[in-house]
Every structure is written in C-alpha cells, then in structure tokens.
Structure 1
Amino acid sequence: MKAAQAFAQTNNLDKEMDECIEKLKALEWGNSDPKYITALMLFAKNPGYIWIRKKKRIERIKANESEEIGHAYTQDLIHGDPIQCFDMIRLSQYAFVLLCNHFTQRNWLQHSRTISVEEKITIFLHVVGHNERFRAVKERFHHSIQTIHQCFHEVLKAMMCFAREIIVPTSSNTTKNTSECYRRLKNIFPGALGALDGTLVHAVVPIDEQTRYRGRGKDKYYICDAAYTNTRGFMAPYRNTRYWLADFRRNRALTKEERLNHAHAQLRNFIERAYGVLKARFPILKRMAPYPFPVQRDIVIACVAVHNFIKKYDIENDLFTSFEQNNMVTPNVGGGGSEGQNIQGIEWGSEAVEYMTTLRDQIAN
C-alpha cells in the first residue's frame, strides 16, 4: 500500500513538474535565466523531493546546452567568417569540409550521440594547430577533459589510416606542383635527408634514446650551413666561397665550388620553406607537448598527412602562397641555429671529415 502511495505521489510530482515547465516556457525565459532556475526551485509542495528532481533536470539542461556549444562553434567555423575558420583550425572552410567528408566516406570516423565528426576533427585541429592542452580545449567546446581526450585520440587513430593513403613516395610521373628545380637538386644531392636548421621537429625523448631518432643512415646526410663542420652525416658548403642566394642574383656561379654552393643553398631554401609552412600551420611541431613518444610520432604523421592532403588536391591556401616566395628564407648570419646545438652522435674524427669532403668534391665535379 505504501509503495502504491509513493508511486502515485511520484506520478503527481512528475505531472506538477511538467506543468511547471510548460508555464515557464510560456514566459519565454531562457534555461539559464536566474528567474527560470529560481522558479523551478520554489515550485511544488514537497521542497526536498522536488529540489532533487529539479536540480537533476537543471543539470541535464545545462549539460545539453554545453553539448550544443561545441556543435554551434564548429558550425560557425564552417559557415561563418572564413578568416576565423583559418585562424582557429588552420584550414580553409573548403579544405575542412573536404577533409571531414573524406573521413566520413571511408568510415574512419563516425558521429557519436552528442559529437559530430566535424566537431571531433575540430577538437583535434585545435590541439595541433595551437598546441593547446586538453584543459584549454575543454573550455572552448564545453566537454569534459575525458571527452576531449577521447575525441583527440579517436581522430589521431583515424589519421593513421589517412596517412597510409596520403603519404606515399612520389612516382616518376610527378605532378604539376612538383618543381623541376627541386627534382634537379635532389638528383644532385641524392643522399640529402633534409636541412638542419628549421627542419627538425621537436620531440620529448629521454636523453639516452635521442641518438636513435636522428634519421641518418649510410651515405645519408643533412644539408647545413658553413657554421657546421663538414663531416659524415652533415654536408656544409665550401667556405670562403659565395653561398647565399642573393650573392648569385647578378653574377652566375663560375667555379665548381660556387656551382655546388649555389645548388646547396637552393636545396636548403626549398627544404626550409617546406618545413616552414608545415610548422606555421601546426605550431605543435615547434614545441611538442609531453605525450608518450608513440603519440608524439603519430601527431607528426597526422600533421604531414593533412599538409599533403591540401597540397595533393591543389587547395588554394595562403600559407603555401606566402612560403613559395623565395625571399621567405633569409641567411642565418650567425650560422648554426639552435637546432644544431647539442646534437648527439656527430662523428668528428678525421676519417669522417675526409669522407664527407670527398663526397662533396665528387658532387662538385
């Protein structure tokens, strides 16, 4: 009997609560309006019981509103000011929609109950595009840190599928975007892995494991300026010889040393501009957060994949346009930038120096 009475009382309270909500809706107060909340708290005969029910409902309303904030923010980026979209997620609206459709069509990501694919990718791009911590992103999207963490890693995992499709060796049938000059320079320096200054990606790795991640192999080397020793793994230009690109604008290279220095400076310029636009789009590559190393690795791969995606589909992009200007890279007068400091595993012996000197002379000849 008591149970039946309690059940009937609960139904009556539910009815009263529903009537209260309908009356409040008629007043057109917002769900977060203090008057709305106060009315809910004061309404009903049983203050203690109704307070618990109203509190839960208020919390549920606020939770729903928070979920809508992230969705509304994402939609505003897609359909609102294009400059704001680029500033916030480092992609144009067209590129972002194309990227989201790509992931959806291949079923790499799915909408969840409260978060769309677009919002998940927006959360990921916020992290890598501004090097923001999850707590800061949480405030933007009004989700819990656990939700932000889950979305980030869900997208990062999907990015690995994306990377396998989009990061592939260039074929002999190069695209129209591939520079003939760059192909010529790669043929001149077939062992070049990259340029030293401005191209290394920051990573948080224990000191005793750092050398193994210095991507060098047999007959491979980094292009570096004259501030570095010309030794195995690091090819510097000839000293006391013209080197900077500006030095050759009026007078062409004459000697074999000048010709090598000119080609060396051109290749270094190409590489530094390529990494420059990548790091400008994704600042997390300049100062990686202390994620576990496999996560750091995957973030780099994901950033390169998105970068290649934009380039592959020839999407117009201001970053590419600005960095394609030759004057974007200026001489480092002091030489030996910060990335060259504290490099582990350099071979300083006479044999290593002689090896690279011979290799450089072979290329010059």
Structure 2
Amino acid sequence: MDQRMIASREHIEQMERDDTDAEIMMCMMLLMKARDSLYTREPIRDSKLTGPERVSEVLNGHVDRCYEQYKMERHVFLNLEALMRQRGWLEDSRYLRVDEQLAMFISIVGHNDRYRDIAEHFQHSLNTIGEHFKKVLRAFILLGQENIKPPNFSRCPKQILEKPKLYPFFKDCIGVIDGTHVSASVPLSKQIPYRGRK
C-alpha cells in the first residue's frame, strides 16, 4: 500500500476516535447539567423556632423545664450566663448568644446528645455547634481553675491521725472523693499474695 494511504487511514481513524471522545465528553456534560437542574437545594434547618426562641421558651416556661433541659434551675443558669459574660470567657457571636451557647453545651454534656441532634434542635450547622462547643468547654475549664482548689496534701487529715486503725497506713493517701472508708479484709487462704502491700 501507498504510504499516503496508510497515513490518511490512520488520520481518519484518529479523527473518529477524537470525535467519539468529544461526543462522550459532551454527553457527560449534558448529564451533569441535567442532574444539577433536577437537584433543588433547600435548607435542612427549617424549623419555625430558632435556637434563641427555644432557649427563651425554656427559660420563660414552667420552672421545672429549665431543670429538665439544662440540669439547673433558671436563676442558676442565668447567673452562669452572667458570670461567663462578666469574666469575658464567652460573648455573643455573630450567630449565637451566650445563653444559646451554654444551652447547647449543657445539652451535649448533660443529656449525651449528639451534635446532629443539637443542630436540629437549635437550627445551626454541625460546624457551628462544634466550634461553639469548644469555646464553652474552654470557658468551663477556666471556671474550674478558678473555683476548684485542691486540698493541702502536705498535712495528714485529722480523721486519719486520730484513728490507730488508719494511721500510719493511710498517712500518705490523698483521700477519696466522698470521704468514706470501706473496711476490707482478705480471707486467710488468700493473704499470702497481699502480704506487705497496702
């Protein structure tokens, strides 16, 4: 065969492949455009009550509602909000007031609610919930550092010093949360592994 014939046949085949690729591309673009035109965007958070309205409803409703929702009485919640504002630990953001930030945080921690439940309840995005959860958590850490002081561990408590049954065995113990001591005795048959231990 002539060289020119081979070259022109290859050229024609290449053009056909290019045309096929272009047609496939065009079809894909049309399908994507059709899909996008069929998909209508609508807001997912479309409740009639906004987050501030829900918080206001709870705070101004029956006296037990605040305790059920936020695990504290109304005046305690309002005092906590005022304290957070006063110390500058929390402030109203563009989208959330301090009372709503506290309500969301307490709902997550106190009721073990998921971010998705809180997003639906307060009508905010998951990102907004997460961002403000971290802010309120930092504020509570500051509150804890200000209010929770460890006892003096250098002195042995009087309750231990005065009882020969406890002193000197528990002289270096830091203590327990509720201050109770539970007497425990190991049966004679199992005492060997525990000998010399406190």
Match of residue 355 from structure 1: 197
> How many angstroms does 1:129 deviate by?
0.6
> How many angstroms does 1:237 deviate by?
2.4
- Which has the greater radius of gyration? 2
> How many angstroms does 1:135 deviate by?
0.9
TM-score w.r.t. the length of structure 2 is 0.60
Q: Structure 1: 5+ residue runs without aligned partners?
A: 1-54, 172-182, 200-221, 225-235, 241-347, 357-365
Aligned partner of 1:120 among 101, 113, 116 = 101
> How many angstroms does 1:69 deviate by?
1.5
Distance in 2 (CA, whole Å) between partners of 1:119 and 1:186 is 47
Q: Structure 2: 5+ residue runs without aligned partners?
A: 1-39, 164-169
- Residues 72 and 223 (structure 1), Cα distance of their counterparts in 2 relative to 1, 3 Å cut: same
Displaced runs of 4 or more, over 3 A: 65-68, 183-190, 348-353
- Report the identity percentage: 24
Match of residue 166 from structure 1: 147
Distance in 2 (CA, whole Å) between partners of 1:223 and 1:192 is 13
C-alpha RMSD of matched pairs (Å): 3.5
Distance in 2 (CA, whole Å) between partners of 1:110 and 1:68 is 22
> How many angstroms does 1:94 deviate by?
0.8
1:76 aligns with 2:57: yes
Distance in 1 (CA, whole Å) between partners of 2:62 and 2:109 is 21
Match of residue 114 from structure 2: 133
Give 3-state SS (helix, strand or coil) of 1:113's partner. Answer: coil
How many pairs were matched up? 144
Higher-RCO chain (CA-CA 8 Å, sequence separation at least 6): 1
> How many angstroms does 1:108 deviate by?
0.3
Give 3-state SS (helix, strand or coil) of 1:115's partner. Answer: coil
Check conservation: 1:192, 1:223, Cα contact below 8 A: no
Match of residue 73 from structure 2: 92
Aligned partner of 1:103 among 66, 84, 91 = 84
1:154 aligns with 2:131: no
Q: Which amino acid aligns with 2:196?
A: E
Q: Which amino acid aligns with 1:237?
A: A
Check conservation: 2:92, 2:98, Cα contact below 8 A: yes
- Residues 139 and 185 (structure 1), Cα distance of their counterparts in 2 relative to 1, 3 Å cut: farther
Q: Which amino acid aligns with 1:122?
A: A
Q: Which amino acid aligns with 2:140?
A: M
